[in-house]
């Protein structure tokens, strides 16, 4: 629970007489809502709160939510009415809904949902049922500047200085959506019918029906949403320039008129249909059905974001959405490995023909056959602004010239990065769906998703899915590893980067990692060990005799190691760098050990946990997956670890602290048992150069379309200007470096006047000084 909520005094709020039967408290100060998870109607209340608010913390018994403008925007976008929201809150609340909260809800929902952004015939239109709203918008200079007006010959008119056109709009009949069938979903149940999963005795069933009366008009949006007849109604619209779409969307957000994006795909006769459907054997789970119903609730495709835990079937949700829209689809992923996995998933779950799926990566630049199809690529391939190869440029022209029915964005939390913002504006798509497990970033750019893609349509409860067996039941533990005296002495003396390597390469952490690997391999588990630092990754893997993958590993080698891990009983442990954080599907993994991480990143912690969240074939009682974070005691790593865990704690997970692994000290086979071995390791760490100290970073500008090791990229950028922070001791030669003088000869090569005096290319210099030798 947030600290501010705990510090506030709400004793002055009057309780209702029957407050004991009501599950909610509402803070009048900031819109925080406290839910009693043990209430008989907690499940229905959770569905309602997820629809109107942002989950803050969701442990088992007491949960916290927060009303925000964006959460109310999302509520309106799926069909909720202002008075319905206030009425249900009042029924559920132990105290009367404060006037400040009622006013806030009315203020936020008054203008929301009135304006829509529609893409027709490769042109963008601002659409509304209220012409006075469009007139008001056109009074804004930014919105008016992006407007386009055409004459009878479809030529663009010059609107400069002409204010008389502000009342001229295109008028069309309002689109209707009825009888939509989402593949894999059974016919809608009757309103009073209870879910077969939770058949209870008659008394409980009657109580369920009473709850339905309370929530029927609001929670069951997918059943009743927009079933009224729109025939005879009209919508008004004006055209805007494609390059002004993002600016206008942002401006509408700023003036509290956010634009909804909907696609009436069934009435689209311009774009060719795609022959795709789910296979008869494909089964949709209840929470997947609920998420899809929020997207297609009114018979049209709403643009937005669906948040599901890793391993809960986000890929199948995206494939089902594509099968529902049945138009050309562009899928964007984070790496080339995930591109191939998406292609395989499309072929596994749907009846799409293989020649209708094209792949656009550095190694493969295909086009689908026919007038419609599916293209799967990476963000970096599409967002790249550097000069492309001929084939890549022709492929980009193919993507940019088409009108895509569906843009599917995997791991959507990476989209707000400045490079990826161009993706959603470059590609003309009718509907956009973002999929992610962690809608969090350590910067403040996550809010950009609300106008880049759309509102959050659905967010699942991790603990609820685990209790129902849809995802694994994970035991989370933080293992405290004491630093040896020699390592800790150097840790206190060294600079920040070298400190990081010292607590990662701590011999006691080495031993804990080896002990846990041996223990879980004996249990028959499949183990993933994560390390952000590539130097530590390689040293651990080689010392323990295990295969490893990092940015510099070739694509074929990656696939070979991953396939061996999945299908070879002799390969039960692999080491992964940051390349394995997202989009790599390893359902066999049941144990994860983290030895090095990216400071306090909550997102990375959740993404790594997701590697073992897929429901396991083994039906062990209790925990059937294990997540260990190895932390060196009395170091800065402990602070970062606490910060990283916050997101998972908010989802209801509890971290057990292990200070002593029973039996580890008596194991004679552990590495670095002797003092001499530990001192040799310390010397190797202290002699590590600057490049070894860096964590692996994702190079999004790399046109290869995969996560790349910074050291590999640096070789191709020898002439780039780069600032490096280091200590005076390092610059003065205290880190085992030799001072060499170089001068440029007539041929443009560098001639060394140091040892040997031979010629040397700039790429052979030390990483710290390499930048100086690339100057011209």
Q: Say how far apart CA 531 and CA 544 lie, in whole Å.
A: 14
Q: Are 494 and 501 in contact (CB under 8 A)?
A: no
Check residue 383 and give its pLDDT. 86
Residue found under tokens 């023909």: 353
Cα dihedral 236, 240, 246, 248 sign:
negative
pTM of the entire predicted model: 0.74
Share of the chain above pLDDT 70, in %: 76
Exposed, middle or buried, 79 (CB in 10 Å: 0-12/13-18/19+)?
buried
Cα(709)–Cα(142) distance, integer angstroms: 42
The count of C-alpha atoms lying within 13 angstroms of the C-alpha of 701, restricted to the half-sphere facing its C-beta, is 9
Residue 442 contacts residue 272 (beta carbons within 8 Å): no
By DSSP bridging, strand 404-410 and strand 329-333 are: parallel
Beta bridge partner(s), residue 384: none
Alpha carbons 158 and 148: distance in angstroms, whole number: 8
Q: Does domain 470-691 have CATH number 3.40.50.300?
A: yes
Single out the residue of 114, 383, 75, 399 nearest to residue 236, CA to CA: 114
Fold of 268-460: Rossmann fold (3.40.50)
Q: CB–CB of 56/66 below 8 Å?
A: yes
Spell out the residues 6+ positions from residue 528 whose beta carbon is closer than 8 angstroms to its own. 573, 574, 575, 576, 580, 586, 589, 591, 592, 593, 611, 612
Distance from C-alpha of 749 to C-alpha of 456, rounded to nearest angstrom: 56
Q: What is the pLDDT of residue 444?
A: 63
* Whole-number pLDDT of residue 503: 92
Rounded-to-integer distance, Cα 24 and Cα 21, Å? 10
CA 11 to chain centre: 40
For residue 772, the model assigns a pLDDT of 36
| Alpha-carbon torsion (37, 42, 45, 47), positive or negative | positive
For 756: left if phi > 0, alpha if psi spans -120 to 50, otherwise beta; the answer is left
Gap between the Cα atoms of 223 and 716, Å rounded: 56
- As a whole number of angstroms, the distance between CA 591 and CA 611 comes to 9
Report d(CA 565, CA 519) in Å as an integer: 18
pLDDT value of position 426: 83
Q: What is the 3-state secondary structure (H, E, C) of 107-127?
A: HHHHHCCCCEEEEECCEEEEE
CA distances, 362 to each of 339, 388, 389, 405, 705 (Å): 11, 10, 10, 25, 6
Q: Structure tokens of 562?
A: 């991953």
**Residue 584 contacts residue 611 (beta carbons within 8 Å):** yes
Percent helix, strand, coil in the chain, to 5, is 40, 20, 45
Spatial distance between the Cα atoms of 77 and 112, rounded to a whole number of angstroms? 8
> Going by DSSP bridges, is the β-strand pair 456-459/304-307 parallel, antiparallel, or unpaired?
parallel
Helix (H), strand (E) at residue 475? strand 474-481
C-beta of residue 583 within 8 angstroms of C-beta of residue 337: yes
* Predicted local confidence at residue 518, as pLDDT: 95
**pLDDT value, residue 601:** 78
Q: What distance in Å separates the CA atoms of residue 104 and residue 241, rounded to the nearest whole number?
A: 33
| Helix 69-77 vs helix 99-111: crossing angle, to nearest 10 | 50
What is the residue extent of each domain of the chain?
3-111, 114-176+233-258, 268-460, 470-691, 717-776
Residue found by looking up tokens 């190079």 in the block: 699
Closest to 261 in 3D by CA, of 424, 141, 135:
424
Residues in the chain where the model's pLDDT stays below 50? 160-161, 188-204, 217-231, 699-722, 729-776
Beta carbons of 706 and 337 less than 8 angstroms apart: yes
Task: Specify the 3-state DSSP secondary structure of 170.
Answer: strand
Q: Which residues pair with 329 in a beta bridge?
A: 374, 406
From the CA atom positions of the chain, what is the Rg in Å?
A: 29
The answer to whether 268-460 and 470-691 have equal CATH topology is yes
Which residues, 6+ apart, have CB-to-CB distance to 313 below 8 Å?
285, 288, 470
Angstrom distance (rounded) from CA 24 to CA 33 = 7
Are 409 and 384 within 8 A, CB to CB? no
For residues 735 and 683, the answer to whether their CB atoms sit within 8 Å is: no
Cβ count within 10 A of residue 739 = 8
Q: Nearest Cα to 53, choosing from 20, 22, 92?
A: 92
Nearest-CA neighbor of 630 among 476, 768, 489?
A: 476
Angle between helices 636-644 and 602-609 (to 10 degrees): 70
Q: Check: CB of residue 52 under 8 Å from CB of residue 219.
A: no
* Number of Cα atoms under 13 Å in the Cβ half of residue 409: 28
HSE-CB at 300 with a 13 A cutoff on CA atoms is 22
Q: Considering only CA atoms, which of 585, 565, 566 is closest in space to residue 574? A: 565
């Amino acid at each position: 629970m947030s600290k501010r909520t705990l510090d506030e005094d709400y004793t002055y709020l009057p309780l209702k007489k029957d407050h004991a039967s009501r599950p909610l408290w509402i803070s009048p100060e900031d819109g925080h809502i406290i839910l009693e998870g043990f209430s008989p109607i907690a499940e229905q209340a959770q569905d309602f709160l997820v629809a109107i608010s942002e989950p803050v913390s969701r442990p088992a018994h007491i949960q916290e939510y927060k009303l925000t403008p964006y959460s109310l925007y999302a509520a309106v976008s799926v069909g909720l009415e202002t008075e319905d929201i206030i009425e249900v809150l009042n029924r559920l609340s132990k105290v009367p809904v404060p006037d400040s909260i009622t006013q806030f809800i009315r203020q936020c929902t008054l203008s929301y949902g009135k304006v829509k952004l529609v893409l027709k015939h490769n042109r963008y239109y601002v659409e509304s049922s209220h012409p006075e709203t469009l007139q008001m918008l056109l009074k804004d200079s930014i919105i008016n500047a992006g407007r386009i007006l055409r004459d009878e010959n479809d030529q663009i008119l010059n609107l400069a200085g002409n204010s008389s056109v502000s009342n001229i709009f295109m008028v069309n009949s309002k689109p209707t959506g009825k009888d939509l069938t989402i593949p894999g979903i059974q016919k809608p149940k009757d309103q009073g019918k209870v879910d077969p999963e939770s058949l209870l005795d008659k008394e409980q069933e009657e109580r369920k029906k009473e709850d339905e009366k309370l929530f029927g008009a609001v929670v069951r949006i997918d059943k009743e949403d927009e079933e009224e007849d729109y025939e005879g109604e009209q919508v008004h619209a004006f055209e805007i320039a494609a390059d002004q779409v993002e600016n206008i969307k942002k401006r509408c957000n700023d003036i509290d008129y956010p634009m909804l994006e909907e696609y009436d795909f069934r009435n689209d006769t311009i774009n060719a249909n795609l022959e795709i459907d789910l296979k008869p054997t494909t089964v949709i789970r209840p929470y997947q059905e609920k998420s899809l119903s929020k997207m297609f609730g009114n018979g049209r495709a709403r643009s937005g974001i669906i948040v599901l835990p890793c391993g809960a079937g986000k890929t199948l949700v995206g494939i089902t959405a594509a099968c529902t829209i049945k138009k050309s689809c562009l899928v964007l992923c984070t790496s080339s490995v995930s591109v191939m996995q998406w292609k395989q998933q499309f072929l596994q779950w749907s009846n799409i023909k293989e020649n209708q799926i094209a792949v656009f990566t550095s190694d493969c630049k295909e086009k689908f056959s026919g007038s419609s199809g599916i293209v799967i690529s990476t963000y970096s391939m599409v967002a790249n602004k550097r000069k492309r190869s001929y084939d890549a440029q022709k492929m980009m022209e193919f993507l940019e010239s088409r009108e895509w029915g569906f843009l599917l964005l995997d791991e959507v939390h990476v989209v707000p990065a400045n490079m990826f913002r161009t993706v959603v504006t470059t590609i003309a798509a009718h509907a956009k769906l973002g999929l992610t497990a962690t809608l969090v970033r350590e910067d403040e750019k996550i809010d950009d998703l609300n106008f880049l893609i759309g509102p959050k349509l659905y967010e699942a409860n991790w603990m609820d899915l685990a209790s129902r067996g849809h995802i694994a039941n994970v035991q989370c533990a933080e293992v405290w590893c004491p630093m040896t005296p020699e390592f800790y002495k150097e840790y206190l003396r060294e600079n920040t980067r070298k400190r990081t390597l010292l607590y990662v390469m701590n011999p006691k952490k080495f031993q804990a990692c080896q002990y846990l690997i041996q223990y879980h391999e004996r249990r028959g588990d499949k183990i993933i060990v994560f390390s952000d630092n590539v130097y530590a990754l390689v040293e651990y893997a080689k010392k323990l005799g295990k295969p490893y993958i990092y940015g510099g590993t070739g694509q074929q080698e990656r696939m070979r190691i991953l396939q061996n891990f999945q299908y070879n009983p002799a390969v039960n442990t692999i080491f992964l760098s940051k390349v394995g954080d997202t989009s790599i599907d390893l359902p066999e993994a049941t144990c994860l050990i983290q030895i090095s991480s990216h400071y306090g990143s909550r997102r990375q912690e959740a993404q790594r946990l997701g590697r073992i969240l897929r429901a396991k074939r083994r039906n062990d009682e209790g925990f059937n997956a294990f997540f260990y974070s190895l932390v060196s005691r009395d170091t800065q790593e402990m602070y970062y670890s606490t910060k990283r865990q916050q997101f998972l704690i908010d989802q209801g997970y509890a971290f057990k602290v292990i200070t002593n692994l029973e039996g580890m000290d008596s194991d004679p086979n552990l590495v670095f048992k002797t003092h001499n071995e530990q001192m040799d390791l310390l010397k190797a760490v202290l002699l590590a150069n600057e490049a070894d100290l860096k964590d692996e970073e994702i190079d999004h500008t790399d046109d290869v379309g995969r996560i790349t090791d910074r050291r590999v990229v640096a070789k191709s950028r020898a002439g780039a200007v780069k600032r490096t922070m280091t200590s005076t001791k390092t610059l003065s030669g205290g880190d085992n470096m030799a001072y060499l003088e170089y001068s440029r000869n007539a041929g443009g090569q560098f001639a060394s006047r140091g040892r040997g005096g031979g010629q040397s290319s700039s790429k052979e210099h030390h990483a710290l000084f390499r930048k100086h030798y690339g100057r011209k």
